Amino acid sequence: MVQAIYVPDAGKSTFIGAQRIICDPALGAAPNGRCRRIYVAVGGYGLYKSEDGGENWAIVYTLAENRYFTDVEFSQGTVFMAARDVDLHLYDGTTLTESNLNQTRLFDIAVSPSNKNKVFACTNGMADLYRSTDGGLNFVQLLPTSDDAVGQSYFKSSLAPWKENSKLRDYLSVGELQLDPYNSDRLWFAEGMGVWRADDASNSNNGPVFNDVSAGIEEMVATDIAVSSSHVTFMTWDRIGFSMPKGQLSAYPTKQTLNTVDFSTGTSVDVSPDGNFMAAVASDHRGCCGNGDFAGYSEDGGVNWSRFGSINQTNNTNNPSQLEFGELSISATDNSNMVWISRRNTSTAPYYDTRIYYTDNQGASWTAASVPSGYNNSGFMFLTSKKVMTADRVLGGTFYSYAWNPGTIYKSTDKGHTWAKTTASLPSNAWHVQLKAAPGKAGHVWMVTGYDHREPVAQRGMWYSTDGANNFNKVTNVQDAWSLGFGAAYNGSDYPTIYIFGKINNQWGVYRSIDQAASWELITTYPLGLFDKVTCMEGDPDIFGRVYLGFSGNSFVYGQISAGSQPVEEVVIKPETLALYETESYNLVGIVKPFDATDQSLTWTSSDPSIASITSQGTLTALAQGTATISATATNGVVASAVVTVNETFRVTGINIPQSSIEVA
């Protein structure tokens, strides 16, 4: 029989099992009606063959237990097998042959279905490409058209210029290499950034030129989003990130931020309250542990980027060696003051280290902060959705950081130089927590617990503080929340719009609140039909209703209020009841639902203007003792009401103080 998929064994289970099943039609059908000759490639064992429709099996090619197939292809009676750490092997039904390629890093094979002599093979990352014209026995290495270690000469993209401008050779996530069944000179290549096609695969010994033929296929891993006054900056794994004009979000960027070539990751980006100064953490993660020498800043909202002063990982005169990965926040009032929490992922102790550094000179040098010994945070760099630090958006030099065991907040009010533990009590072990300060609100800090459910169900969800992170309250109407962002306030509201990806009333989706989380509106369940995990999100500070989302494997999307015709379905007045004294005024808020209703206008009226008058903008004035009903009516007749009670104002006409009660010192 064929060896089944591995059974778990004391934590040593593996995904390797039956990797490919092939039916060879050469022998026709067996008496049981099945294909007579069947091949099954099993990782850790080898290639099995049956010639009686699967009743009996024999192994014809043996793999070591710790080896697996990287690709298995079939054409005209021959099985082509590439496996980890061994050369290409061929089996034609009777004879097993080892290729003369002498390459043990093969990752994929392409064989013409109409001519088994034409074979292509590539190594991991598409670093090397080979072609055979004798059925895989001998190969020629296809060299790039010029001495190009980056790969820009044989990967072309007019659709997305940033791809062509980045390092491609050796850093492409090989998905599949296939020859076109209708044109054996056409070679298709699918990988993480899309699909490429070469139409000259057989023309010469030079490397074929692959052209980008995919549009709208996005598989970037999103890590962070920041929105300036003019641009949206998206940070990603492997390609650092991109800054795109708000009005050109459907166009492809021409280059990456900070580092336009190297294979690197952007883990964090922040924007100053001035809307123009931005800073980002970008690290080269090739060879395990990375460094921070691609981190930097923009002074024009993300159009142009400059690296911080030399972050030298070997000469630590100005910059500590631990500056790598992690996240960064900008002071609300001083762009030269930033705090960087590194997440060190090292192969030597201390493992997964997390440290806090600050700069007072716009990143020219960094200094380790004074942090109490109780502060702790996992530095594991792959937890890309975790955001444990935020800067207060009003109070300059004030920063907050979540510590996961036990769950609390550490705070700095001196530009990140020294930190102290607050009295906050928050869920512990929230490894994917996201912490953000509310724009324009001093001391307002919000937190969602994230998607890693180590904490009990009762501790999941959303928390907020209005006193500088000393005390937090749970948002009781949010059952769970993975990501958090802020955007422009709704007309008439004095609080920024809050966006979350979370669970409310047992329904997961993207939600919006215009009243400081008192109520929520479900915007969408799965944007664009994507069932992927939301790792980051942010609202637009200038455009109400626009929100940007990043996914763990499907790049970024944005949504905004529809421009189509949408009738008013509901009107809400806040507050619904109100008590005033004579001569007092109050601004009522009229909310039209849905938020993308075409006509947002409301007509305000009072049932008794002699008691309470109302302006066309909703400003209420109490005039005389009594009760009046205030109505807000949409153009299609949908109406809401609020009741105002006006109390008599007691007027003081004089104060009589007996002389005997006065003492003069």
Whole-angstrom Cα distance, residue 572 to residue 427? 34
CA distances 312 to 240, 295, 368, 381, Å, are: 19, 12, 15, 20
- CATH entry, 222-557, from 2.130.10.10, 2.40.50.140, 3.30.450.90, 3.40.50.2300: 2.130.10.10
Distance CA 474, CA 459 (A): 9
Asked if residue 94 has pLDDT above 80, the reply is: yes
68-212 and 222-557 have identical folds = yes
Secondary structure E strands in 311-437: 327-330, 338-343, 354-359, 367-368, 389-391, 399-404, 407-412, 420-421, 434-437
Of 379, 383, 408, 411, residue with least CA distance to 398: 411
What are the residues facing 421 on neighbouring strands? 410
Copy the structure tokens of residue 278. Answer: 């931005």
pLDDT tens digits for range 571-614: 989 889 999 999 999 999 888 888 777 788 899 999 999 999 99
What does the pLDDT read at residue 8?
40
Q: Which two tokens stand for residue 346?
A: 């090292």
pLDDT recorded at residue 564: 64
- Give the residues across from 537 on adjacent strands: 549
Question: Furthest-apart CA pair in the chain: how many Å?
Answer: 123
Hey, what are 557's tokens? 């999307």
Confidence of residue 373 (pLDDT cuts 50, 70, 90): confident
User: What is the C-alpha to C-alpha distance for residues 173 and 341, in angstroms, rounded to an integer?
Assistant: 30
Q: Which two tokens stand for residue 135?
A: 């059925």
pLDDT band at 374 (very low <50, low <70, confident <90, very high): confident
Q: Where are the beta strands (DSSP E) in 221-272?
A: 222-227, 231-236, 241-245, 265-271
* pTM for the full predicted model: 0.77
Q: Give the pLDDT confidence of 475-520 residue by residue, as tens digits.
A: 999 999 999 999 999 987 899 999 999 999 999 999 999 999 999 9
- Which sequence spans correspond to the domains of the chain? 68-212, 222-557, 570-647
Note the pLDDT tens digit of each residue in 148-183. Answer: 555 556 788 887 777 776 666 667 778 889 999 999
Token digits of residue 533: 């995990």
Class of domain 570-647: mainly beta
Multiple choice CATH, 68-212, 3.30.450.20, 3.30.465.10, 2.130.10.10, 3.40.50.2000? 2.130.10.10
Given a cut of 80, whether residue 416 has pLDDT beyond it is yes
Q: Tell me which range, 119-128, 191-200, 342-351, 479-488, is most confidently predicted by mean pLDDT.
A: 479-488
d(CA 635, CA 588) in angstroms, rounded, equals 19
Q: How many Å is the Cα radius of gyration of the chain? A: 32
On whether the CB atoms of residues 188 and 175 are closer than 8 A, the answer is no
pLDDT at 656: 65
What one-character DSSP code corresponds to residue 295? Answer: -
